A and B are shown apart, each in its own frame.
Chain A
């Protein structure tokens, strides 16, 4: 099942085990490797009194499917301690709020959400939602490889700003950029 969605759309989506049909938690957020912009997994919402118990994290390689109603995993043993998944990432942080700057050195905006393409267990970052300096929102599609650092996300001068509600336009633009890259 192919889906295009915002990372924030996954907030609260149940994580269900295929072995016992049990809810193992709820997705809180997607975790992205700041070195390359790839999805490494998901953080889960804290549960229980005061949210003290470690809700765990879900590495992407334990996910069997990201569906429209649930994220399916093989068994609860696929969850890892919250800190352990991020430990290999250096300074793991929220990509939201990052500046988006073009090659001329002009700030295009800052990241407000991440656009994901999901196909079964494959989850790719294909774009971002940005808020422009005039406070209007737009979507941008990203090629497979792009330059990102802890300071900024670098985009081309000719990047197309897509309407904020047209996720499928991001999917089309990202697919055509990737096939052009591959050619």
Chain B
């Protein structure tokens, strides 16, 4: 699934069947090469849910265990991430040997486990199993 398909999907609590909001942004941990949290639109402050609390990323809704598991950012990096400073889409993609390979249009990931599968660039796709870093200047990938 692509990030663009997941954004906007409703997030529903399995505990009480309430809609908590919609998917706003995926938080990626570079070295693990996976989605580690989802930021939810419509929640002020505590708007992150860690991936392990996502019981199913379904075709129509994202099921999470309970609203109480929502949390706020816990590091300066996370604070900047939820503000959109490192937004993956549109960011420059750079190899670790200093070559620009394009702009990031979208990210393909496995919604069953959160693993990244490929970066969708403005020209073609690049399979990835991990990233070097995600930052304000670029997304850095292994050469």
Contact = CB atoms under 8 A, between A and B. Distances in A.
A26 to B, nearest CB: 11
Interface string B106-143: 00000000000000000000000000111111111001
A103 interface: no
Given A1-B143, A21-B133, A16 B97 contact: no
Interface of A: 1, 14, 16-23, 64-72, 120
Contacts of A64: 96
28 contacts: A1-B99, A1-B143, A16-B98, A16-B138, A19-B133, A20-B77, A20-B133, A21-B94, A21-B133, A21-B134, A21-B138, A22-B137, A64-B96, A65-B96, A65-B97, A67-B94, A67-B95, A67-B99, A68-B98, A69-B94, A69-B99, A69-B100, A70-B98, A70-B99, A70-B138, A71-B98, A72-B96, A72-B97
Contacts of B77: 20
A14 B127 CA distance: 26
A158 to B, nearest CB: 37
Contacts of A70: 94, 98-100, 138
A1 B101 CA distance: 13
Contacts of B137: 14, 16, 21-23
Interface footprint category on B: 10 to 19
A21 B140 contact: yes
Nearest to A64: B96
Secondary structure call for the A interface: loop
Contacts of A65: 96-98
B1 to A, nearest CB: 24
Nearest to A16: B137
Contacts of B97: 1, 65, 67, 72, 120
Interface in B74-111: 77, 86, 94-100
A22 B135 contact: yes
Considering residues A14, A65, A68, A72, which has the most beta carbons from chain B within 10 angstroms of its beta carbon? A72
Contacts of B132: 18, 21
Nearest to A1: B97
B35 to A, nearest CB: 18
> Closest 4 A-B residue pairs measured CB to CB?
A67-B98, A21-B135, A69-B100, A21-B133
A73 to B, nearest CB: 10
B95 A22 contact: no
Given A21-B133, A23-B136, 14 more contacts: A16-B137, A17-B133, A18-B96, A18-B140, A19-B133, A21-B135, A21-B139, A21-B140, A23-B137, A67-B97, A68-B100, A69-B100, A70-B94, A120-B97
A20 B131 CA distance: 11
A72 B141 CA distance: 12
Nearest to A14: B137
A21 B134 CA distance: 6
Contacts of B138: 16, 21, 70
Contacts of B140: 16, 18, 21, 72
